[in-house]
Amino acid sequence: MTRKRTALITGASAGLGAEFARQLAAAGYNLVLVARRRDKLEALAADLHQQFGVDVLIEAADLSEQGAPRALFDALHAGNTEVDFLVNNAGVAGSDLLTDRDWDEHRAFFQLMMLAVAELCHLFIPGMRERGFGRVINVASVAGRIPRVGGCNYGPSKAYLIALSEDLAVTLHGSGVNVCALCPGYTHTDFHSTAGLQDMKDAMPGFLWYDAAVVVREGLWAVERGKPIYLSGRLYRWLDPLFQSLLTRRLFRLASRH
Protein backbone atom coordinates (compact mmCIF):
# COMPACT_ATOMS: atom_id res chain seq x y z
CA MET A 1 0.00 0.00 0.00
CA THR A 2 1.37 3.45 -0.88
CA ARG A 3 1.94 5.86 1.98
CA LYS A 4 -0.35 8.90 2.14
CA ARG A 5 1.68 12.08 1.79
CA THR A 6 2.06 14.55 4.67
CA ALA A 7 2.17 18.35 4.60
CA LEU A 8 3.62 20.42 7.44
CA ILE A 9 2.30 23.97 7.68
CA THR A 10 3.69 26.60 10.03
CA GLY A 11 1.40 29.42 11.14
CA ALA A 12 -1.60 27.18 10.55
CA SER A 13 -3.77 28.68 13.31
CA ALA A 14 -5.00 31.58 11.14
CA GLY A 15 -5.02 33.30 7.76
CA LEU A 16 -2.99 31.85 4.92
CA GLY A 17 -1.71 28.91 7.00
CA ALA A 18 -5.23 27.73 7.88
CA GLU A 19 -6.17 28.05 4.21
CA PHE A 20 -3.10 26.03 3.14
CA ALA A 21 -4.24 23.35 5.60
CA ARG A 22 -7.74 23.35 4.12
CA GLN A 23 -6.62 23.14 0.49
CA LEU A 24 -3.93 20.52 1.15
CA ALA A 25 -6.41 18.41 3.16
CA ALA A 26 -8.83 18.68 0.24
CA ALA A 27 -6.01 17.43 -2.00
CA GLY A 28 -5.65 14.36 0.27
CA TYR A 29 -2.58 15.25 2.34
CA ASN A 30 -2.29 14.25 5.99
CA LEU A 31 -1.30 17.32 7.98
CA VAL A 32 1.07 18.54 10.66
CA LEU A 33 -0.16 21.91 11.93
CA VAL A 34 2.26 24.22 13.74
CA ALA A 35 1.66 27.51 15.58
CA ARG A 36 1.59 28.79 19.17
CA ARG A 37 -2.21 28.75 19.76
CA ARG A 38 -3.01 25.11 20.36
CA ASP A 39 -6.77 25.72 20.76
CA LYS A 40 -7.03 27.17 17.25
CA LEU A 41 -5.03 24.29 15.80
CA GLU A 42 -7.24 21.75 17.59
CA ALA A 43 -10.43 23.29 16.24
CA LEU A 44 -9.04 23.35 12.69
CA ALA A 45 -7.71 19.78 12.99
CA ALA A 46 -11.11 18.45 14.11
CA ASP A 47 -12.84 20.28 11.27
CA LEU A 48 -10.43 19.05 8.55
CA HIS A 49 -10.41 15.48 9.85
CA GLN A 50 -14.18 15.39 9.79
CA GLN A 51 -14.50 17.05 6.38
CA PHE A 52 -11.71 15.32 4.46
CA GLY A 53 -10.90 12.18 6.51
CA VAL A 54 -7.19 13.09 6.75
CA ASP A 55 -4.96 12.53 9.79
CA VAL A 56 -3.97 15.77 11.48
CA LEU A 57 -1.13 16.09 13.97
CA ILE A 58 -0.74 19.20 16.10
CA GLU A 59 2.63 20.55 17.20
CA ALA A 60 2.33 23.72 19.27
CA ALA A 61 5.60 25.64 18.93
CA ASP A 62 6.98 29.16 19.12
CA LEU A 63 9.23 29.40 16.08
CA SER A 64 10.82 32.60 17.32
CA GLU A 65 12.63 30.40 19.87
CA GLN A 66 15.95 28.93 18.90
CA GLY A 67 15.71 25.14 19.02
CA ALA A 68 12.01 25.01 18.04
CA PRO A 69 12.60 23.71 14.47
CA ARG A 70 14.93 20.96 15.73
CA ALA A 71 12.44 19.92 18.45
CA LEU A 72 9.70 19.77 15.83
CA PHE A 73 11.83 17.66 13.48
CA ASP A 74 12.85 15.30 16.31
CA ALA A 75 9.24 14.85 17.47
CA LEU A 76 8.12 13.93 13.95
CA HIS A 77 11.11 11.68 13.38
CA ALA A 78 10.37 9.84 16.64
CA GLY A 79 6.81 9.24 15.42
CA ASN A 80 8.01 8.09 11.96
CA THR A 81 6.25 10.99 10.26
CA GLU A 82 7.87 11.90 6.95
CA VAL A 83 7.16 15.35 5.57
CA ASP A 84 6.57 15.59 1.81
CA PHE A 85 5.20 19.12 1.61
CA LEU A 86 6.59 21.94 3.75
CA VAL A 87 4.86 25.31 3.96
CA ASN A 88 6.96 27.89 5.82
CA ASN A 89 4.20 30.40 6.41
CA ALA A 90 4.34 31.65 10.03
CA GLY A 91 5.09 35.35 10.19
CA VAL A 92 4.41 38.71 11.78
CA ALA A 93 4.79 42.33 10.68
CA GLY A 94 7.79 43.04 12.89
CA SER A 95 9.34 46.05 14.50
CA ASP A 96 11.45 49.01 13.36
CA LEU A 97 15.17 48.22 13.36
CA LEU A 98 16.23 51.72 14.30
CA THR A 99 13.52 53.12 16.56
CA ASP A 100 12.65 49.96 18.52
CA ARG A 101 15.55 49.58 20.94
CA ASP A 102 14.95 46.07 22.26
CA TRP A 103 17.41 43.84 20.39
CA ASP A 104 15.85 40.66 21.80
CA GLU A 105 12.64 41.57 19.99
CA HIS A 106 14.54 41.93 16.70
CA ARG A 107 16.42 38.69 17.28
CA ALA A 108 13.14 36.83 17.86
CA PHE A 109 11.74 38.36 14.67
CA PHE A 110 14.72 37.29 12.54
CA GLN A 111 14.63 33.83 14.15
CA LEU A 112 10.95 33.41 13.17
CA MET A 113 11.13 35.00 9.72
CA MET A 114 14.46 33.71 8.41
CA LEU A 115 16.38 31.28 10.63
CA ALA A 116 13.45 28.99 11.39
CA VAL A 117 12.64 28.82 7.67
CA ALA A 118 16.25 28.04 6.74
CA GLU A 119 16.50 25.43 9.51
CA LEU A 120 13.25 23.70 8.53
CA CYS A 121 14.51 23.55 4.93
CA HIS A 122 17.84 22.21 6.21
CA LEU A 123 16.10 19.52 8.28
CA PHE A 124 13.31 18.37 5.95
CA ILE A 125 14.58 18.79 2.37
CA PRO A 126 17.33 16.10 2.44
CA GLY A 127 14.69 13.42 3.21
CA MET A 128 12.52 14.69 0.37
CA ARG A 129 15.48 14.59 -2.01
CA GLU A 130 16.31 11.03 -0.96
CA ARG A 131 12.72 9.93 -1.59
CA GLY A 132 12.64 11.78 -4.94
CA PHE A 133 9.61 13.90 -4.10
CA GLY A 134 9.05 17.12 -2.19
CA ARG A 135 7.25 20.44 -2.31
CA VAL A 136 8.33 23.51 -0.34
CA ILE A 137 6.54 26.85 -0.28
CA ASN A 138 8.24 29.68 1.58
CA VAL A 139 5.69 32.42 2.07
CA ALA A 140 7.54 35.65 1.30
CA SER A 141 5.85 38.88 0.19
CA VAL A 142 5.67 41.53 -2.49
CA ALA A 143 7.41 43.58 0.22
CA GLY A 144 10.53 41.52 -0.49
CA ARG A 145 10.52 42.76 -4.08
CA ILE A 146 10.47 46.51 -3.46
CA PRO A 147 12.32 49.08 -1.37
CA ARG A 148 9.94 50.50 1.23
CA VAL A 149 9.97 53.38 3.61
CA GLY A 150 10.59 52.54 7.25
CA GLY A 151 10.80 49.40 9.28
CA CYS A 152 13.85 47.86 7.63
CA ASN A 153 13.03 44.43 9.07
CA TYR A 154 10.04 42.98 7.24
CA GLY A 155 10.95 43.62 3.58
CA PRO A 156 14.58 42.50 3.94
CA SER A 157 13.53 39.33 5.80
CA LYS A 158 11.20 38.45 2.90
CA ALA A 159 13.90 39.32 0.34
CA TYR A 160 16.05 36.69 2.07
CA LEU A 161 13.30 34.07 1.69
CA ILE A 162 13.01 34.88 -2.02
CA ALA A 163 16.78 34.53 -2.54
CA LEU A 164 16.93 31.35 -0.45
CA SER A 165 14.02 29.74 -2.31
CA GLU A 166 15.45 30.56 -5.74
CA ASP A 167 18.83 29.16 -4.76
CA LEU A 168 17.25 25.98 -3.37
CA ALA A 169 15.12 25.59 -6.50
CA VAL A 170 18.21 25.79 -8.72
CA THR A 171 20.17 23.40 -6.48
CA LEU A 172 17.33 20.87 -6.39
CA HIS A 173 16.46 21.00 -10.08
CA GLY A 174 15.71 17.49 -11.40
CA SER A 175 15.54 15.94 -7.90
CA GLY A 176 11.74 15.83 -7.69
CA VAL A 177 11.77 18.54 -5.02
CA ASN A 178 10.22 21.88 -6.05
CA VAL A 179 10.78 25.02 -3.99
CA CYS A 180 8.78 28.21 -4.46
CA ALA A 181 8.86 31.63 -2.80
CA LEU A 182 5.22 32.65 -2.82
CA CYS A 183 4.94 36.45 -2.73
CA PRO A 184 1.47 37.63 -1.74
CA GLY A 185 0.44 41.25 -1.93
CA TYR A 186 -2.14 42.59 0.51
CA THR A 187 -4.27 39.64 1.65
CA HIS A 188 -7.34 39.46 3.90
CA THR A 189 -6.10 37.64 7.04
CA ASP A 190 -5.47 38.55 10.71
CA PHE A 191 -2.02 39.89 9.80
CA HIS A 192 -2.80 43.62 9.86
CA SER A 193 -5.13 43.61 12.88
CA THR A 194 -2.53 41.60 14.87
CA ALA A 195 0.07 44.25 14.01
CA GLY A 196 -2.25 47.12 14.99
CA LEU A 197 -2.58 48.15 11.32
CA GLN A 198 -6.35 47.80 10.93
CA ASP A 199 -6.77 51.56 10.28
CA MET A 200 -4.20 51.41 7.50
CA LYS A 201 -6.03 48.44 6.01
CA ASP A 202 -9.41 50.20 6.19
CA ALA A 203 -7.97 53.26 4.42
CA MET A 204 -6.61 51.30 1.46
CA PRO A 205 -8.50 50.69 -1.81
CA GLY A 206 -10.17 47.30 -2.07
CA PHE A 207 -8.63 46.38 -5.43
CA LEU A 208 -5.23 45.93 -3.72
CA TRP A 209 -6.58 43.11 -1.54
CA TYR A 210 -6.88 39.42 -2.34
CA ASP A 211 -8.59 36.57 -0.50
CA ALA A 212 -6.40 33.97 1.21
CA ALA A 213 -8.10 31.23 -0.84
CA VAL A 214 -6.86 32.81 -4.09
CA VAL A 215 -3.30 33.29 -2.79
CA VAL A 216 -3.07 29.69 -1.58
CA ARG A 217 -4.56 28.23 -4.76
CA GLU A 218 -2.03 30.15 -6.84
CA GLY A 219 0.83 29.09 -4.55
CA LEU A 220 -0.06 25.41 -4.85
CA TRP A 221 -0.29 25.79 -8.63
CA ALA A 222 3.10 27.56 -8.79
CA VAL A 223 5.04 25.02 -6.73
CA GLU A 224 3.58 22.14 -8.76
CA ARG A 225 4.84 23.82 -11.92
CA GLY A 226 8.31 24.34 -10.46
CA LYS A 227 8.19 28.15 -10.31
CA PRO A 228 10.99 29.33 -7.97
CA ILE A 229 9.32 32.72 -7.32
CA TYR A 230 5.65 33.48 -7.80
CA LEU A 231 3.76 36.69 -7.15
CA SER A 232 0.19 36.03 -6.20
CA GLY A 233 -2.52 38.22 -7.70
CA ARG A 234 -2.70 39.43 -11.31
CA LEU A 235 -2.22 43.06 -10.23
CA TYR A 236 1.05 42.27 -8.43
CA ARG A 237 2.32 40.09 -11.29
CA TRP A 238 1.66 42.97 -13.62
CA LEU A 239 3.46 45.46 -11.34
CA ASP A 240 6.48 43.27 -10.58
CA PRO A 241 8.56 44.12 -13.68
CA LEU A 242 8.13 47.76 -12.69
CA PHE A 243 9.23 46.97 -9.12
CA GLN A 244 12.35 45.29 -10.50
CA SER A 245 13.35 48.08 -12.88
CA LEU A 246 16.26 50.23 -11.73
CA LEU A 247 14.36 53.36 -12.66
CA THR A 248 11.36 52.46 -10.47
CA ARG A 249 13.60 51.54 -7.56
CA ARG A 250 15.31 54.89 -7.93
CA LEU A 251 11.92 56.64 -7.95
CA PHE A 252 10.89 54.74 -4.81
CA ARG A 253 14.08 55.91 -3.13
CA LEU A 254 13.61 59.52 -4.24
CA ALA A 255 9.95 59.52 -3.14
CA SER A 256 10.99 58.36 0.33
CA ARG A 257 13.26 61.38 0.89
CA HIS A 258 11.80 63.86 3.33
Ligand X SMILES: NC(=O)c1ccc[n+]([C@@H]2O[C@H](COP(=O)([O-])OP(=O)(O)OC[C@H]3O[C@@H](n4cnc5c(N)ncnc54)[C@H](OP(=O)(O)O)[C@@H]3O)[C@@H](O)[C@H]2O)c1
Distance CA 138, CA 179 (A): 8
- Side by side, the strands of the sheet bearing 229-231 are 56-60, 30-35, 6-10, 85-88, 134-139, 177-183, 229-231
Rounded to the nearest whole angstrom, what is the least distance from the CB of residue 77 to ligand X in the complex? 20
The correct pick among 141, 153, 165, 178 for binding ligand X (CB under 6 A) is 141
Helices 15-26 and 38-52: crossing angle, nearest 10°?
Answer: 20
Rounded to the nearest whole angstrom, what is the least distance from the CB of residue 61 to ligand X in the complex? 6
Distance CA 233, CA 249 (A): 21
Rounded to the nearest whole angstrom, what is the least distance from the CB of residue 226 to ligand X in the complex? 22
Answer yes or no whether residue 89 interacts with ligand X by CB under 6 A. yes
Binding mask of the shown chain, residues 8 to 27, with x at each position contacting ligand X by CB under 6 A: --xxxxxxxx----------
- CB closer to ligand X out of 188 and 249: 188
Rounded to the nearest whole angstrom, what is the least distance from the CB of residue 118 to ligand X in the complex? 14
Rounded to the nearest whole angstrom, what is the least distance from the CB of residue 188 to ligand X in the complex? 7
Q: Which of residues 206-235 bind ligand X (CB under 6 A)?
A: none
The span from the first CA to the last CA of the chain, in angstroms, equals 65
The correct pick among 6, 30, 64, 95 for binding ligand X (CB under 6 A) is 64
How would you write 124-174 as a 3-class SS string? Answer: HHHHHHHHCCEEEEEECCHHHCCCCCCCCCHHHHHHHHHHHHHHHHHHCCC
Encode 221-243: b = buried (16+ Cβ within 10 Å), e = exposed.
Answer: ebbeeebbbbbbbebbeebbeee
Stretch that binds ligand X, among 21-29, 89-97, 169-177, 245-253 (CB under 6 A): 89-97
Stretch that binds ligand X, among 51-59, 179-187, 217-225, 246-254 (CB under 6 A): 179-187
Considering only CA atoms, give the Rg of the chain: 18
Active site (catalytic) residues: 154
The correct pick among 190, 199, 211, 224 for binding ligand X (CB under 6 A) is 190
- CB closer to ligand X out of 133 and 199: 199
* Contacts to ligand X by CB under 6 A: 10-17, 35-37, 40, 62-64, 89-92, 112, 139, 141, 184, 186-187, 189-191, 194
